[in-house]
Structure formats: structure tokens, C-alpha cells
Structure 1
Amino acid sequence: MVAGRTDAGVHATGQVVHVDVVPLRGPSGRLPVDEHGIPDLERMCHRWNRYLPGDVRVLSARVAPAGFDARFSAVRRHYRYRVSDARWGVDPLLRRDTLAWGRPLSVTALNEASEALLGLRDFASFCKFREGSTTIRELQQFAWQRLDAHLIEARVSADAFCHSMVRSLVGALLLVGDGRRPIGWPAEVLRSKTRDSAVAPAHGLTLIGVDYPPDDELAARAEQTRALRQPTEAS
């Protein structure tokens, strides 16, 4: 189970995974185990990384607290989306994780339009429909900043995201940032509950972090997350 079920082509530097395993009854080859049947996890990481493809790395591993669920125990997920608005495209060294937009973008307009989307709302207009899934989410951060003359980064945080939500939000906001749509348009799309926005390409998006509550609250958080969310206001 993973914390963020990202779309194909999306990157992750802060993914969290949990897996249920059976304790070992004794040493596995040259790998020692403790009295609980747990192997040396630092050495296990080294072993895993020897066999994983080059674009996947296990950074660390530990025994999870009781009740932990990588997906449902999370209280917040953080993404970034990077865009180059240079007319000549994107720096070749950044091409794998940065979208080449090719039109000048106004960070002021991007932030003004994004702020109107914050809160606990029904994001059906920005989610790919899935039977039995709720589209109610709490968007806690949606902010843009210019990193250099041509590179812009969006930071997006929420309790959870539905399928294609971040990319749909970014796709809509980019049309505001380059002036093709008015600042109030994304909020109008949100209220319409009708899917009517461009979906930004996957490669510009990266999952950069996942937040969890204290260990003694993990199980309760998982149960709470599984319950259907309800919006606090009409949206």
C-alpha cells in the first residue's frame, strides 16, 4: 500500500509504502535478525536497491507502529508542479520533471485564482470519476512562486487527492496565468461540478511529502479517512 497513488508518469521523492510481512524465524543467509524476527533494515535497503530499477530507490525502512496504513493514516500530502514559461521551452537538464509552457505566466494571477479554491469542497470538476469514490477533499495549500526568470513552481497540499486532481487544478490555473481565462474561472468550474478543465501533463508533477499524526493516533486516523467526507460549505 502506498501513500499516494500517483498517475503514470508522475514522480515521487517522498512516497511512503507499507507492506505486511511474516517475521523470520532465523538468519536469512548472512542477514541477521533480532529477537522479533526483524532483519537489519538498513542492510535490507541496500539489498533492495541492488535489484530495483535505477529510477526507484528505497531511502529508509522501519517497523511500522500498530494501526499504521500508508494511505489511510496520512493527514496531508504535498505535491509540487514545475513549469517553464520561457518561449524557447525548458532547460534540457530539467525536462524530465518540468513542463514547457511557452507562454508568459503571471504568478500574481495564479495565486489569486488558486486562493479561491482552498478549503473543504467537492472537487468533482477537477477529478476523474471513479465509482464509489468521494470527490470531497480539503485543499490546504495551493501557492505559486517563481524560482528564477523562467521557472515557476506550484505547491499543492491536501488531506488527500482524487484521481488526476492536482494535474486538473494546475491545468486550469495555467490558462489563468497566461491570460486566456479570467481569474474567477477556476472557482466557477469548481461550483459547476462539471469536469471542464485541461489536465496538465504528468511529468511536471512530483509527490514530495506525506504527513502522519502521532503513533497513537494512526489507527483512528485511518478509520476517519475511510469515512465519507462532507463539505463545510456549498461549493
Structure 2
Amino acid sequence: MTQDRQGWVRLALGISYHGGHYQGWQSQPSGQTIQDQLEKALSQFANHRVSTLCAGRTDAGVHGLMQVVHFDTPALRPEASWVRGTNALLPRDIAVQWAQHVPPEFHCRASALTRRYSYHLLQSPVRPSVEQGRVGWVFRPLAMPAMQAAAACLLGEHDFSSFRASACQALSPVKHLMRLDITQRGAYWRFDFEANAFLHHMIRNLMGCLVMVGDGRKPPGWMAEVLAARDRDAAAPTFSPDGLYFVGPRYAEHWQLPSHTPPFDLLP
């Protein structure tokens, strides 16, 4: 356990949640956000006001498999107690997966090397039912080669202004997309993204374009044209948040933090 000069300790938590009933991660006056619910439970358990920072904000309807947060506290509790005690006070669709004491120089956002998201999509003539809210949906057949060809031009460091929401507060639209893997399992498609950071709505806007290429409405080469335009109007409409999951950040090994949580293994 690392303790600073004032007797406070820094804790990192891994949080999973279903985002369907919340207005995103970031605290809002309504109190209906993941951060609001988490801080309310932590404050009650720690017996003092707790403020958290997160590795990456998620929008309304987006799910989290390993959102990482950190906060400072004078409460000296075993790590397992932070998990069990906080979960007892949280709604059923939010859960602390792990807790770990970290050095005071650890910062859940600044210390992250990359961030990972996964989008899950049902291809079916009929809309989802039991998977409602957990997967996106397309009714047209998708072509793997076309989407892979379109995805290839996105890899590397680029100006992603064409895929940036107007409300995005990022200082720069230039991001390094290191991975965009597309796999299919029966009627389900999975798109895995990893980058140093993402812009607001970036993945949902990329998904809109990938689907338009996949169902034949646009040729694969159109993706490079959209990227080069650096203009949001050149891209497809923003895709549904339903199938989007924040898989979590990656950290350097010396922090000794988990790379994923058990809910990751439940994804289709």
C-alpha cells in the first residue's frame, strides 16, 4: 500500500457497467450517470466525499468492461473490501471488478498507453430482442473483404476530423489508430479498435462508414476520401451506441494492473 505524506492513499478501480440506463459516464445535474452513481457509493463506503477521474469517458448507451478510475482517500481498507463494500451500494448494472492501491504518481488517464473499444453488431433481417441494447443492428448483409480494405487506410496516425463530433473537446484531431480488427461469428460481427486516444463519437462515426462500405452503398476507396476530407459532413451518420463497449486502457507492466475483466469473456 502506497501512502503519501498527508496519510492519504491512491486507489485504482476497474469498473464494468451497462450504459443503457445512464446519461453516459460524466457527472450531470440529473445524477443519472455512471460517475454519479459510483461516487455516491464510494463516498458512502469511505465516509467522505470521493471524486474520481476516469481513463476514458463514455456516452449515453455505451457500456464499460474495464473503465479504470482513481481517487485519493484517507480510508485505510483492504482492497477486497473496496470491491465488496462499494458493490453493495451500487445499482445492479454497475460493478467494481477490482481495486488496487497505486503510487501517488499513477494517473488513470495520463498513465494509459492506449485505449480499447469493441463494437458488436447483429446482422439479421429482424431487429434484436434479448440482445436489445447490447448489440448494434444491420438488416443488410455485410461483406468482410470490403470492410477490411476500408479499415486498412485508417491505421496509423491521421487527422480524424471527419469522424469527430462537433462537441468534441480534444485539443487535436490527430490520433494514432493501432488496431482495427473485424471478425464474424455467425450472425454477429465484432470490430476491435485500439488507439492512443479517441475523439468524441469517433468509433460510432467510423462504424457508420464501415457499415456503408460493408453493405455495398459505398466502395472501399470511399473511406480514404472521407479521411482525407477532414470534414464531418463527408462521413456517414453517427451509428448506434448500443453495441459499443469500452474494453479499457492499457498500462505499462510496472503498474501491475489487470488488462481486462471477466465481463470481457462474455462478449459474443
Fold match by TM threshold 0.5: yes
Task: Count residues in correspondence.
Answer: 200
Unaligned residue ranges in structure 1 (runs of 5+)? 25-37, 217-235
Secondary structure, aligned partner of 2:54: coil
Q: Report deviation, 1:79.
A: 0.9
> Does 2:218 match 1:192?
no
Between the aligned partners of 2:184 and 2:214, the Cα distance in structure 1 is 12
Distance 2:103 2:239 in 1: 37
Aligned-partner Cα distance in 1 for 2:188–2:211: 13
Paired residue type of 1:161: F
| Residues 82, 153 of structure 1: 8 Å contact kept | yes
1:73 maps to which residue? 111
Q: Match for residue 56 of structure 2?
A: 4
Cα distance in structure 1, aligned partners of 2:60 and 2:131 = 19
Rg bigger for which structure? 1
Residue equivalent to 1:105? 142
CA-CA distance at 1:96 after TM superposition = 2.0
Provide the rounded CA distance (Å) in 1 between the counterparts of 2:93 and 2:85: 16
Structure 2: unaligned runs, 5 residues or longer? 1-52, 256-268
Structure-2 residue corresponding to 1:226: none
Q: Structure 2 length as normaliser, TM-score?
A: 0.71
Task: Assess if the C-alpha contact under 8 Å between 1:80 and 1:206 holds in 2.
Answer: yes
Aligned-residue identity in percent: 34
Off by >6 Å, runs of 4+ in structure 1: none
Structure with the larger strand share:
2
- Written as runs of structure 1 = structure 2, the 5 A alignment for 1:75-90 is 75-90=113-128
RMSD (CA atoms): 1.4
Aligned to 2:23: none
Name the aligned partner's letter for residue 59 of structure 1: Q
CA distance 1:160–1:173, change in 2 (3 Å): same
Superposed CA deviations along residues 170-208 of structure 1, whole A, max 9, x for unmatched, are 111100000001101121111110003211111110011
- The one-letter code matched in structure 2 to 1:55 is D
Paired position in structure 2 for 1:162 = 199
Alignment check: 8 A CA contact 1:65 1:215 kept: no
**Which residue identity is paired with 1:16?**
V
